[in-house]
Structure 1
């Protein structure tokens, strides 16, 4: 804890300096799972990248004190040593505790436990003026609630206390094939009502074929006689490909999966986004090539390559949570307008909306009927696919999707690019209440959520002169930019901080 206190004091004094000198700054975490372009100036950052430790675990209380830059795989590894497990574990190992709390982070257990932020019991925060405070349901409660989905715009997170649950080593996974959009949504909602289920999500492979996947934590001494299926080794099949084979089989299938394999089942291939890399480089997409290229197909490497290559500007990447009865209408729209598959489905608890960037309540139609302010469950739809087009058409398509989202009462996960105008943004989000909160906790010198997520494009950030010209040539050529991204990922190092100039 002494090292933690020393680092926090450095953060606190640096923020106080920026506040007193009226200098704009950004918080640097050392990595990102956002698809927005990231570029930091070393002289105008508060560096919290070293806050990456699990400080303590209380076995009796089932809690842990954790610094914000602890990634999911490290958190799971340390809690498992104590016989405990986080209730909500994001599917990519590199997503951090801090990102999960102040960002938007849910997974297949979120129908039961809510978004990741709902597992946090208290938070240590440095406010914009350098004041160090603790926030919880019993202390600075308004700040604690406001931190959810605030994206660091109310202060800098330095530690959380989080709830844990007893560890079980295996997940009994059941695959339920579906045969239409309505069938998939109704089957998903049905399984979230079964208290025995710990995990529920789904994948749509086409209009007529999908799978709902349920999971139950089980003890090793009570395992039924069903096969073990793993997803983390290079020779294991990617999870979604395995699930697709079972969807086409057409019958309910049960398997046992080790808990860490289940939690990070989408890491290899980043769901199905890795498939598009094979197609991009004209490499056969088959088991042997997936085995041979496994190193490149994990999300940490893929995010590095994604940012270096500029490929976020070639893909539609949208995660949107809808009132459950409206999700099928959105999927129908995506099918008709874009024909994008696979699509990810994830059920969310009714308090999920308040974890997603300070939105206004939704009082529009649900299931075709007006019924006042909506306070029910949500279903998230993940739409991720390449969209080869001109920049104008690319922006138009994303804006059309966002308009359909607003029509159906959906909310974006804000790791993705935002194509709203500022007026459109504040039609969705509660500016009045958000500004009051920022004023109360002296955070008006920090950027707003809109400032952080608004789309800035990329051209003006590539620099000038010969180096800038070469970057433009690389970024504008799909093959060159892909190769450059791979080169940067292999080389390693920081991909967000600007290099120092002499």
Structure 2
């Protein structure tokens, strides 16, 4: 803890420096799982990238004390040594504990345990004036609640205490084929109601083909013959491809999956978006090529390449949480407007809306029926992940994303703010409770920091390549799809810091 205390003292001093000068800053983590355009100024950041240690695991209390930049795979690896697991494990290994708490994150266990922030017991945070406090349900409870979905705009997260659950060796996974959008949504709700299920999600491969996947933590199969299936080795099939084959079977299929393989089953190929990289480079997409190029098909590398290439301007990458009764209507809209498949489906506990920042309640219709007067929606949510290419002009790209956002608002849904936001400022604060949020910022002295809106609003990548000859060359490369893809791969292989690099280059030329 001495090293942690020293690091926090340094952060307090840095924050106090900005506070005294009333200069806004941003929190720098060293990596990101956001698809928004990001631009960090090295002179205006609080660097917390070194806070990446697990401080302690209490087996008796089933808790872990960790720094915010601990990624999911490291956390799982260490808790498994104690036969424990985090109740909610985000599907990409590089997603961090801190990001999950202040940035909203869920997975296939979130129908049972809520979003990741609901598994957090307490946090240590450096406030905007440079003082640090502990917040929990019983101490500084208003701050604790307000930090959920705040994106670091109330202070700097420096430590998290989270709950753990008992680990089992396997997840017994059952694939339930579905043949319609409505059937998939109904099956999702049915499986979430089964007490024995620990995990539930689904994939739609077409309007009339999908699979709902339920899982139970077990030490051995409950069936006499069950195949053991793995997904993390280079020669293993990608999870979604394997699931697509089982979606065509007439009856459910059950398999045993080692728990770590299940938790990170979507890492290879980043669900299925890695498939588009093969198409982009006109590469055959088969098991052999996936094996040969496996290094590039993990999410840490893919995010690096995505930001370097500028391909967030060519893909629709949106996650939305909708009242369960409206999820089918939204999916029908996506089918008609984009025809993008596969789509990810993930049920979320009814308190999911409160975990998504300062969202206003929803009083509209659900499943075609109006909510009783005076009440707001208080039921299950379903996350629909819409990820795929949309080659078009910039004007059309913005328009279709705004149309998608309009449909989400109409149906009482909320976007994950890791994705690009095309709302106007008035539209944004029509969805989120500006009054409550600003009152929190006033109370905790954070009014001089960037707001959530400042952090998530879309900039269309303005000024993200720098100036001079080098900047001009980058613009040319990024404007040509094939070259931009190669550039992204090159930067990913090169490694290093891809978020602050531009500022470092500028500094060298000064």
- Which range, TM-score by smaller chain? over 0.9
Aligned counterpart for 1:478 among listed residues 478, 481, 484: 481
What is the alpha-carbon distance in structure 2 between the residues aligned to residue 27 and residue 347 of structure 1?
31
- What residue number does 1:3 align with? 3
Measured after TM superposition, the shift of residue 39 of structure 1 is 2.2
Q: What do the CA deviations read for 1:288-338 (whole angstroms, capped 9, x no partner)?
A: 100100000000000000000001111000100000000000000111111
In structure 2, how many angstroms separate the alpha carbons of the residues matched to 1:195 and 1:154?
37
- Give the stretch that moved more between structures: 217-226 or 373-382: 217-226
Q: Is the 8 A contact 2:362 2:377 kept in 1?
A: yes
In structure 1, the partner of 2:130 is 130
Give 3-state SS (helix, strand or coil) of 2:284's partner: coil
Write the mapping of 1:83-482 to structure 2, written as runs, cut at 5 A: 83-220=83-220, 224-371=224-371, 372-482=375-485
From 490, 495, 499, the equivalent of 2:498 is 495
Cα distance in 2, alignment partners of residues 444 and 355 from structure 1: 22
- In structure 1, C-alpha distance between the alignment counterparts of 2:410 and 2:172, rounded to whole Å: 38
Are the aligned partners of 2:221 and 2:256 in contact in 1 as well (CA < 8 Å)? no
**In 1, Cα distance between equivalents of 2:99 and 2:452:** 14
Q: CA deviation at 1:24?
A: 1.8
String of CA shifts for 1:197-254, please: whole Å, max 9, x gaps: 0000000000100000000000148775301000000110000000000001232100
Q: Tell me if structure 1 keeps the 8 A contact 2:37–2:458.
A: no
Relative to 1, partners in 2 of residues 1:363 and 1:449: Cα closer, same or farther, differing over 3 Å?
A: same
Determine the C-alpha separation between the residues in 2 that align with 1:462 and 1:388: 21
On the 8 A contact 1:357/1:449 being kept in 2, the answer is no
Distance verdict in 2 for CA 1:443–1:459, change over 3 Å: closer
Q: State the Cα distance separating 1:446 from its structure 2 match.
A: 1.3
Q: What is the rounded CA distance, in whole Å, between the counterparts of 1:464 and 1:491 in structure 2?
A: 22
Query: 3-state SS of the aligned residue for 1:373?
Result: coil
CA positional deviation for 1:169: 1.0
Structure 2 Cα separation of the partners of residues 221 and 478 of structure 1: 48
CA-to-aligned-CA distance 1:103-127 (integer Å, 9 cap, x gap): 1100000000000000000000000
C-alpha distance in structure 2 between counterparts of 1:401 and 1:479, whole Å: 27
Residues 469-502 of structure 1, C-alpha deviation per residue, up to 9 Å, x if partnerless? Answer: 1111011000110000000000000000121334
Matched residue SS, 2:265: coil
Contact conserved, 1:417 with 1:454, CA < 8 A, in 2?
yes
Aligned to 2:51: 51
Q: Distance in 1 between matches of 2:462 and 2:48?
A: 29
> Structure 1: how far apart are the matches of 2:130 and 2:59?
33
Per mean C-alpha deviation after superposition, the further-off stretch among 166-175 and 17-26 is: 17-26
Please give the per-residue CA displacement for 1:71-125, whole angstroms capped at 9, x wherever unaligned: 0000000101111100000000000000000011000000000000000000000
Q: Secondary structure at the match of 1:456?
A: coil
Task: Please say if residues 305 and 489 of structure 1, whose CA atoms lie closer than 8 Å, have aligned partners that are also in contact.
Answer: yes
Unaligned runs of 5+ residues in structure 1 are: none
